[in-house]
């Protein structure tokens, strides 16, 4: 069973006095449904799960009065074998975007505050005009991503004591001993190959077969590409084209999206594709890093430049596209292969999974800094430069006066 940090958030949510409904967000295939089901298994006596894509007829429960008593009665008729008891039953509404009235109902579940309700699904699919009373103020949000490196360590049998010891070494800026360093580097390189999609991780843990892992990644990558095309017929080709360009853009020196290359039309700008970018980012299948003009805290005040970099949401998908079943490029750290884009990708996904909003700085005379994040404790902007080898120098973009301080 994969250990997910999201479970800790859910446990804290249970103990909240005035609980709201919990909306679990995230890209498809990142383990949302599995995590909620395991959480229910460990913390409740009963789970009432409605997947509106699998059970469209269950929408009838929400077709009449949206009082809690009426909805619970409808569930009891639909699932007579289930005991729906406040505090002992978790109600899980999956693929909620398929039932607009269920979205509206969240307000009334929260006001009643007797039953624990978790929902999941793509909020992109919600018709806000039909969901006449979207439950603003009545829901809490949990954003889920793929398995991060720490969770990957747990999946590979490393215990909490060992991971905690490594974290303390990191906090004290102390080097690991040689054997532990070698083990961690081996696991990290395997993480670059396997990535964080739960199905891929499970396959690797069970079979240790990279070909099986690659087949899963390829299938999910194709699914993401198709899923990114189905919501808006007019824009679906452009959405698919932008998504397909991400790996090649990452291999370019600047790594940012070039608007004119999307349709091979001169004169096109970022603004011409703003909705398409927003879709890919909101769906969680692309990670964005926004350009800033002035690297000072708070970074969001300097995002006037219409430039951005996009990364795939899973490093395993990326290494599958770039290297296929040939694992030597990553495991052996082949000198003939530039893994810069791979390392940048995994750093981006780790930072975003830990709640950071990412920016980058690009100055013609000074150069470019890969990532900047806000440090709210010191009220400063922190630069992060990613290098793929030992032979590197700190370039002049990191030497800007006032770089680390707020304005």
Domain positions in the chain: 6-143, 208-399
pLDDT band at 274 (very low <50, low <70, confident <90, very high): confident
Pairing of strands 116-120, 21-25: parallel
Q: Whole-angstrom Cα distance, residue 299 to residue 399?
A: 17
Bridge partners of 363, per DSSP, are 367
pLDDT band at 235 (very low <50, low <70, confident <90, very high): confident
pLDDT at 400 over 60: no
Out of 202-211, 228-237, 356-365, pick the least confident. 228-237
Q: Whole-angstrom Cα distance, residue 5 to residue 363?
A: 38
Task: Return the closest-CA partner of residue 186 out of 198, 178, 197, 174.
Answer: 178
Residue that wins the pLDDT comparison between 23 and 261? 23
pLDDT band at 314 (very low <50, low <70, confident <90, very high): very high
Q: Which residues 6+ apart lie within 8 Å of 265 measured at CB?
A: none
pLDDT at 266 over 60: yes
- Does the N-terminal peptide bond of residue 355 adopt cis geometry, omega within 30 degrees of 0? no
CB 342 within 8 A of CB 322: yes
Q: How many CB atoms lie within 10 A of CB 126?
A: 17
pLDDT at 248 over 80: yes
Bridge partners of 51, per DSSP, are 94
Out of 161-170, 223-232, 382-391, pick the least confident. 223-232
pLDDT at 275: 84
123-161 residue pLDDT tens = 555 544 444 557 888 999 999 999 999 999 999 999 999
The CATH classification number of 6-143 equals 3.40.50.300
């Amino acid at each position: 069973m994969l250990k997910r940090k999201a479970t800790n958030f859910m446990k804290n949510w249970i103990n909240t006095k005035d609980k709201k409904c919990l909306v679990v967000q995230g890209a498809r295939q990142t383990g949302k449904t599995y995590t909620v089901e395991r959480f229910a298994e460990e913390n409740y006596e009963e789970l009432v799960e409605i997947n509106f894509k699998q059970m469209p007829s269950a929408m009838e429960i929400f077709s009449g009065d949206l009082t809690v008593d009426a909805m619970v009665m409808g569930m009891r008729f639909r699932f007579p074998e289930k005991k729906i008891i406040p505090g002992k039953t978790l109600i899980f509404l999956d693929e909620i975007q398929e039932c607009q009235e269920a979205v509206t109902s969240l307000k009334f579940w929260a006001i009643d505050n007797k039953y624990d309700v978790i929902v999941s699904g793509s909020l992109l699919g919600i018709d806000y005009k039909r969901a006449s009373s979207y439950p603003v103020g009545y829901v809490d949000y949990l954003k889920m991503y793929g398995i991060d490196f720490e969770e990957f360590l747990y999946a590979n049998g490393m215990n909490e004591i060992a991971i905690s010891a490594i974290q303390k070494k990191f906090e004290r800026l102390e080097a690991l001993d040689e054997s532990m360093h070698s083990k961690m580097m081996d696991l990290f390189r395997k993480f670059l190959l396997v990535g964080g999609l739960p199905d891929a991780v499970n396959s690797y843990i069970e079979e240790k077969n990279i070909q099986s892992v690659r087949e899963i990644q390829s299938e999910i990558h194709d699914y993401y590409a198709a899923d990114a095309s189905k919501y808006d017929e007019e824009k679906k080709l452009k959405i698919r084209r932008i998504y397909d360009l991400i790996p090649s853009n990452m291999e370019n020196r600047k790594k940012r999206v070039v608007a004119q290359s999307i349709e091979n039309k001169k004169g096109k700008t970022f603004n011409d594709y703003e909705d398409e970018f927003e879709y890919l980012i909101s769906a969680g299948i692309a990670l964005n890093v926004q350009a800033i003009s002035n690297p000072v805290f708070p970074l969001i005040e300097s995002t006037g430049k219409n430039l951005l970099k996009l990364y795939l949401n899973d490093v395993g998908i990326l290494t599958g596209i770039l290297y296929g079943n040939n694992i030597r490029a990553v495991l052996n750290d082949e000198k003939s292969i530039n893994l810069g884009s791979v390392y940048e990708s995994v750093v981006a996904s780790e930072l975003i999974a830990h709640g950071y909003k990412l920016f980058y700085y690009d100055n013609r005379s000074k150069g470019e800094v890969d990532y900047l994040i806000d440090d709210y404790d010191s009220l400063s902007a922190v630069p992060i430069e990613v290098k793929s080898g030992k032979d590197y120098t700190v370039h002049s973009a990191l030497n800007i006066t006032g770089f680390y301080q707020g304005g």
